[in-house]
Amino acid sequence: MKHAALLICGGLMGLVTTISACLAGPPPISAFATIPRSASPSLSPDGTKLGIIQIYKGRPAAAIWKLDAPDAAPIVMPHNDGLITYVQWANNDRLLIRIEMDKSQFGSAVERWTRLASVDANGKHDVIMFANRSKTRAYNTSVSSINDLAPDDPDHIYMNAWELIDDRVFQNSLFRVDVTTGNAQNYLSGNEFTSRWVMDGNGHAVARIDTRLKPVTDHLYLRIADGWKEVDQLDADGNKGIDALGVSEDGKGLILYYDRGTPETSGYYIRDLASGAMQPFMPGHAISGVLRDPWTSRIIGTRSFDKQNSYFYFDPQKQALQKGLEAAFPGMDVLPVDWDRNRQKVTVSVIGPRLPQTYYLIDRTTHNATLIAQTYDGLSETDLGERKAYDYKARDGLDIPAFLTLPPGKDAKKLPVVVLPHGGPASHDAIWFDWEAQFLASRGYAVLQPNFRGSTGYGQAFMDAGYGQWGLKMQDDLTDGVKKLIADGIADPKRICIVGGSYGGYAALAGATFTPDLYACAASWGGVSDLRKFLAKRQEEAGSYSAVYSAWVRFIGDRSNDAEKLDATSPARNAEKIKIPVLLMHGTADSVVRPEQSETMEAALRHAGKKVTYIAAPNESHWMDTTAARTLWLTELEKFLKENIGN
C-alpha cells in the first residue's frame, strides 16, 4: 500500500507529495460520501462482456465493458430519475437493469417503486419488462424480481406480479417475459394469498407459499403432475412461518427455514420434491445464509457469520476455488460473485477492515487476475483507522459482539467517541470496511458499533432476544458498551455522541432520552421517534391482519395492549428528559419511516425548550442512497460533532 501511495502521488516528488498530503489533513467528505463506484458485476454467458454499476455524476449508472475489446470505452447508461441498483445478463445480448425510485401513485403516500428493464449489448433498444401490461405495472410497486433466468431459454425470464382479476381482488401470478420486447405472458396463476414462488432454474415452478390471514399462516405447496399439493402449514404471525429458500444444487430438494417461534424448534430443512419427505438440512452447522448459482439460483453452499463471513460449497471444485481465493487474499472476506456459463471467468469480491470492496476478474484458463474496480478509489489504507472486535457482556450476562474503529495515528486513550448503532434492527455490522465509521475515524473519533440483541447473524435465539425490547434491553446493550469504553480508558466520558439512521436513529434518540447524562449529543437520520404513531402508519399501509404488520408488532409491541410501554419508550413522548443538543435529518421521500417522525420529534423538543436542529433532505429516500444525501449528512454531522464533542 505504501508503494501504491507513492505511485498515486507520482514522479520523483512522490515521497514529498505523500508527506504533504498527510499534513494537509484527512480525506475530503467526497471521498466517503460518493456512492460506491462499482457494484453488481455480472458476466455474460459467453464471458465476453461485463455488466456493472458505476457512478456517473454522483448517481449509479449501468455500464457495459466488452472484455474482448479491452481498449474500448465502457458503455455507460445513467437514469436521471431513478436509481440503478442491480444488473444481470439474461443472455449474450441483453442486460437486465433494475431501477428504483420513490414516488406517489394515485394520490397515495410516497413508496419505493422498482422496475426491470433491458438493453442490448450496445446499450440501445431499451425496453421495460411487462411492456404490454400497463395495468400490471400501475398496480405493482415492485415489478423487478427475477424468479428464474431459465438459461436454456435465454430469450425469456420468469417474474411474478400481482394482477387485478376483478374490481377488488388481486392474485399473485408467474409470467414468462420476453427480454427483447418486454412482453409478458401468463405462466401460472396463484391466488390472493400467494406470497412466494420457487422455480428450479430450468423454467419450472416447483413450490409456492400462500400466506393466509385471520390467523396469519403459511401454507406450503409442492407442484405435482395434476396441480398443487399442500404439504405443510405453520403459524406465521409476527414474522414466523416458512421461508422457502430455493432448490438444492441437484434439483431434487427444496431448502426451507421454519421459524416456529422459539430457537429450539426452529431450523433449516430439506424436503424431497418427489416424495415430500423432510429432514434437517446440515444439522449442527451455524447457517446465516445460502450461496446461489448466478444462473439457476439453485443453492450451492452456505454462509456462516462470526464477526466475518465464512463460506462452504457442496461441490468440491467450488470449495477448492474458495480456499484458493482465501489463500490469495489472507485475512479478507473473499467470494466469487458471478461467473460465465462455463465457469472459466469469475468475478470476485474482496473486502477487508481497511480495504473497501474491490472486484477482480479471474481467468481460470490463463490464471490471470485483473482488477475491475475499487468502490472507494479515493481512499488508501493510511487514510483509514484500525478496525477490530470489541466484544463485551451486557448487564444480564448476554455476550454482545461489537466493533471498534480507532482514528488513524491516535492512541486509544480518552478519545471522543461516536456510538453508531446499525439500522434494521434485523441487520448486523461486520469487521469489514464501513464508510460511515471510517469517515468518523478520519475526523478523530473512535467509533463503537455494537451488534445488540435483535441483530441478525448470531442465531435465532440472539435475534429473538430483541423482540419487544426497543428502548429497553436493546438500548441497555448500547449503554453497557459505552460504559466499557469509559472503564477501559478509551472514551472521554464527557465527549460521547450517539448517531444512527433508521433504527439506529431511534436508538440515538432513545440514548439521549433515557440515558440523558451519558451522551453529549445525538444525531438521527430517518429515525423513529413515536412508536405508537409508527405502528399506526404501518397498520394503515400494510393492513391490520397482514404478515408485514404482525412482524412489526412482534418486533416492537402491540398498539393497544402495550400502549403504556410504547409511550414510555418513545423519545418524542419523553422529550423533556433530554439535556443535550439533537440533530434530526430526514429524506422528504422516505417511504419506510415517514418524515413526520422527525417532525414530531422536533416539535416535542421545541415545546420542551430543548436545543434541536432539523434538516429536511429534499427528495431523498430512507436509504441515503445518493451522493447528495451522504454529502449532506456527513457535512452536517461533522459540524454538529465538532461543536459538541470536538475532534
Cα–Cα separations (whole angstroms), residue 612 to 188, 501, 568, 640:
54, 17, 21, 11
> In this structure, what DSSP letter does residue 591 have?
S
Where is average pLDDT lowest: 149-153, 163-167, 214-218, 626-630?
163-167
Return the residue matching grid coordinates 478509551: 490
CA-closest candidate to residue 388, choices 353, 360, 347:
353
What is the SS3 assignment for 22? Answer: helix
* pTM of the shown model: 0.91
Cα–Cα separations (whole angstroms), residue 548 to 168, 195, 591:
20, 12, 15
CA 425, CA 469: separation in Å to the nearest integer?
A: 11
CA-closest candidate to residue 54, choices 304, 375, 495:
375
The pairs formed by 340-346 with CB atoms below 8 angstroms and a separation of 24 or more are: 340/43, 340/44, 340/45, 340/46, 340/47, 341/45, 341/46, 341/47, 341/151, 341/295, 342/47, 344/47, 345/43, 345/47, 345/67, 346/321
User: What radius of gyration, in Å, describes the C-alpha atoms of the chain?
Assistant: 25
CA 227, CA 225: separation in Å to the nearest integer?
A: 6
> Mean pLDDT in the chain?
92
Angle at 593 between CA 590 and CA 599, to 5 degrees: 90
Return the residue matching grid coordinates 388481486: 170
C-alpha cell of 223? Answer: 407442484
Amino acid at 265: T
Maximum average pLDDT range among 211-220, 367-376, 634-643 = 634-643
What is the SS3 assignment for 347? Answer: strand
Q: Sign (positive/negative) of CA torsion 186, 187, 191, 197? A: negative
**Do the strands 170-178 and 156-164 form a parallel or antiparallel pair, or are they unpaired?**
antiparallel
CA 528, CA 590: separation in Å to the nearest integer?
A: 12
Amino acid at 512: A
* Mean pLDDT in residue range 202-225: 94
CA 338, CA 328: separation in Å to the nearest integer?
A: 18
Can you give the pLDDT at residue 107?
65
Instruction: Write out 484-495 in H/E/C secondary structure.
Output: HHHHCCCEEEEE
**Do the strands 83-89 and 111-120 form a parallel or antiparallel pair, or are they unpaired?**
unpaired
Where is average pLDDT lowest: 22-26, 54-58, 143-147?
22-26
* Mean pLDDT in residue range 233-258: 94
Q: How confident is the model at residue 580 (pLDDT cuts 50, 70, 90)?
A: very high
Q: Which residues pair with 351 in a beta bridge?
A: 333
Can you give the pLDDT at residue 24?
62
Amino acid at 369: A
C-alpha cell of 379? Answer: 481512499
Task: Indicate if the pLDDT at residue 387 is higher than 90.
Answer: yes
What is the SS3 assignment for 525? Answer: strand
Task: Indicate if the pLDDT at residue 2 is higher than 70.
Answer: no
Q: If you write DSSP's letter for every residue of 387-428 in order, what string do you get?
A: EEE--EE-TTS-EE-EEEEPPTT--SSSEEEEE---SSSS--
Q: Which residues pair with 208 in a beta bridge?
A: 197, 221
> In this structure, what DSSP letter does residue 4 have?
H
Q: Which residues pair with 400 in a beta bridge?
A: 392
CA 297, CA 203: separation in Å to the nearest integer?
A: 11
Can you give the pLDDT at residue 19?
40
Task: Indicate if the pLDDT at residue 6 is higher than 90.
Answer: no
Can you give the pLDDT at residue 442?
97
Amino acid at 174: L
Q: How confident is the model at residue 252 (pLDDT cuts 50, 70, 90)?
A: very high
Amino acid at 371: L
